Amino acid sequence: MPERCRWGLAHFMKPTLLVLAAGMGSRYGGLKQMDPMGPNGETVLDYSVYDAIRAGFGRVVFIIREDFADSFKQGMGARFANRIQVDYAFQKIDDLPDGFSVPEGREKPWGTAHAVRSARHLVTESFAVINADDFYGSDAYERAACFLAAPRPENDRAHYAMVGYPLINTLSDHGDVNRGICARSENGLLTGVEEYVKIERDADGVVRGNALDGVRKEVCEVSPVSMNFWAFTHCFYDHLEEDFVRFLSEFGNVEKSEYYIPTVVDALIRAGKADCSVLDTNSHWFGVTYPDDKQHVVASIRKLIANGEYPAALS
């Protein structure tokens, strides 16, 4: 197992939170990461950083695009500068391993795993990964932080984790969604992730989605799904670099190929290089995939405030 995966000094370092914020939200219609949701103009990111700080994270790294770096730093990053260390990494389409180049016709970066890779020169400790536009809830951050602080078995595998939410709690009333459906063993370890797209409740009341082979299938409503909240030791970067080379060799010339975090984790599990705990959470999850989702997010945050889970104004 890579030395950086072993239990030792890294245990005493506060983990870092990586925030995937490079997307403009094509279906949403704007830079939803900066859209006010709370009663005093708070964004979903404000709540994410607030939860991360009180769970014990020591730094946040925003992964963004250079073309809106200045506006993001002024509009978002400056809000946290006095509360937690803030750094930035840029996801660039041409940030590839030696020997690879961007194929003709490709216009977008390579997906969430590629975004995580873009912070490889900044992160030296254990870390968690979240989407900028998803509200995960305080319990999710606490469970991720506890996992990263706990002793890990000394064996030939790395030990990672993901926060799992029941599928039914992650659907949108305003359109279909894409999810990684997770299977796990009796001891709570992830055994596989199957990507489904266009998941929604059909007219007959059954939840279905399209598997990667294009076949539309019924999906169990209470299956745990990956909402892209992951917890990794630093050696994930060693695994990621090796697997990204494999991905580019096989799919790099496919114009719209995507390199997803769940796909990487699934490959590591199947190869016996890592295991991944599924951390069940009682947190509320909600996102803003579509413009009409905003009303639900605003109402949900107000309810959490009324229940005492958050202050009326974040300090």
pLDDT at 27 over 60: no
Task: Give me the percent of the chain exceeding a pLDDT of 90.
Answer: 55
Asked, for residue 314, whether it belongs to a domain, the answer is no
What pLDDT, on a 0 to 100 scale, did the predictor assign at position 50?
Answer: 95
DSSP state of 254: S
Q: Could you tell me which residues come within 8 angstroms of residue 101 by beta carbon, excluding any fewer than 6 positions away?
A: 94
pLDDT at 29 over 60: no
Q: pLDDT tens digit string along 122-154?
A: 999 999 999 998 999 999 999 999 999 998 777
Task: Tell me which residue range forms the domain holding 274.
Answer: 10-306
pLDDT band for 26, please (50, 70, 90 cuts): very low
Asked, for residue 4, whether it belongs to a domain, the answer is no
Under 8 Å between Cβ of 11 and 145: no
Backbone angles phi, psi at 70, to 5 degrees: -65, -45
Q: pLDDT tens digit string along 179-227?
A: 888 889 988 999 877 889 999 999 999 999 999 888 999 999 989 988 8
pLDDT band for 97, please (50, 70, 90 cuts): very high
Asked, for residue 2, whether it belongs to a domain, the answer is no
What pLDDT, on a 0 to 100 scale, did the predictor assign at position 32?
Answer: 53
26 or 42: whose pLDDT is higher? 42
Residue environment code for 52-61, b if the CB has 16+ CB neighbours within 10 A, otherwise e: bbebebebbb
DSSP state of 172: B
Nearest-angstrom CA–CA distance, 78 and 85: 11
Nearest Cα residue to 208 out of 224, 219, 220: 219
The total number of structural domains that make up the chain: 1
CA 240 to chain centre: 15
The CATH number given to whatever domain includes residue 122 is: 3.90.550.10
pLDDT at 169 over 70: yes
Asked, for residue 99, whether it belongs to a domain, the answer is yes
Q: Which two structure tokens, joined as six digits, stand for 157?
A: 């595998």
Asked, for residue 43, whether it belongs to a domain, the answer is yes
pLDDT at 25 over 70: no
Under 8 Å between Cβ of 284 and 137: yes
Nearest-angstrom CA–CA distance, 48 and 146: 17
Asked, for residue 312, whether it belongs to a domain, the answer is no
What pLDDT, on a 0 to 100 scale, did the predictor assign at position 315?
Answer: 67
Asked, for residue 1, whether it belongs to a domain, the answer is no
Asked, for residue 66, whether it belongs to a domain, the answer is yes
